[in-house]
Amino acid sequence: MNIQEIQRAICSSLCAEVQVSEREGGLLFVSTPFSFPDGDAYSIYLKKLQTGGFRITDMGITLMHLSYENDIDKFQGDGTRGKLFRQILSEMDLSEESGEFFIETPATALGTNIFRFGQALTKIHDLTFLNRLRAESTFYEDLREKLLGCVDAERLKENYIVPGVANAADYPVDYFIESGEQQPLYLFGVPNRDKARLATIILQHLIASKADFNSMIIFQDMSTIPSRDLSRLTNAANDMIASMDATDDIERKLLRRIK
């Protein structure tokens, strides 16, 4: 096949995957190959503009779909998800209003912008599948938010250096929480195996230094930690929360330790 024949074959296949049907209210629904992992098709509609051209819109359905299993309020915040969300809007020239994503386009650029719109929705959906480093970053953001929901900010210190401990700067505590007349609480967030091992080393050093404290571990997902690493950490820590999704358990155990 020559280049022209290849191009015709590709165009024919792509066109066969795109269909337009009329819906109520003068909307046109565009069926494309784009779909969510659960098989639901992307919602792509065309709305005629009085000034000419079209608004390509999802009618607010994308965020509604993502909200079933995700906290989409994070997309509007100042954390990692929020920054990435705004970056996608800027890079893809995508507008968002009250949860509706849209691109306004002249009729002559309709095909190009429909595919750009589908690409933008894919990028937004991918925010729910952040890579490892970004996932760990959002874990600590989410952990801090959970803690501040239970503890006043003035009682919480991050990256705490324990006084009176040899080489203390090499053994920082994720969170120091004042606990009145009880022992202070040293809390560690553990998103992965490497952090489980580091938390174990720090706790063992503090114990060997005769530091007086209680400790708590909050995992991103305890089931992902290898059994030997988990056993060593269990022996060193006073208390554990298996998942950061266990909000009620976090509050109950945390308040019990710091009253």
Do 141 and 247 fall within a single domain? yes
Do 77 and 9 fall within a single domain? yes
Using CA atoms, how far apart are residues 34 and 44, in angstroms rounded to an integer? 10
Dihedral class, residue 213 (left if φ above 0, else alpha if ψ from -120 to 50, else beta) = beta
Do 14 and 114 fall within a single domain? yes
* Domain boundary, last residue among 112, 128, 144: 128
Do 81 and 138 fall within a single domain? no
Whole-number average pLDDT of the chain:
87
Do 124 and 43 fall within a single domain? yes
Do 104 and 161 fall within a single domain? no
Do 168 and 183 fall within a single domain? yes
Q: Tens digits of per-residue pLDDT, 14-57? A: 677 788 888 888 889 988 888 887 788 899 999 999 888 999 99
* Domain boundary, last residue among 108, 128, 148: 128
Do 113 and 172 fall within a single domain? no
Give the per-residue pLDDT at 127.
80
Q: Tens digits of per-residue pLDDT, 198-245? A: 999 999 999 999 999 999 999 998 988 989 999 999 999 999 999 888
Which residues touch 239 (CB under 8 Å, ≥6 apart)?
A: 214, 215, 216, 217, 253, 257
* Domain boundary, last residue among 128, 158, 181: 128
Do 243 and 150 fall within a single domain? yes
Do 157 and 180 fall within a single domain? yes
Q: Tens digits of per-residue pLDDT, 45-88? A: 999 998 889 999 999 999 998 888 777 887 887 777 788 889 99
Instruction: Print the domain residue range for 105.
Output: 3-128
Give the per-residue pLDDT at 14.
66
Q: Tens digits of per-residue pLDDT, 110-135? A: 888 998 999 999 999 888 766 455 56
Do 153 and 227 fall within a single domain? yes
Strands across the sheet with 173-177, in order? 156-160, 173-177, 185-190, 214-219, 239-241
Do 100 and 194 fall within a single domain? no
User: Domain total for the chain?
Assistant: 2
Alpha carbon distances (Å) from 25 to 22, 45, 101, 120, 125: 9, 11, 18, 25, 28
Using CA atoms, how far apart are residues 226 and 229, in angstroms rounded to an integer? 6
CATH of the domain at 238: 3.40.1350
**Average pLDDT score over residue span 132-157:** 81
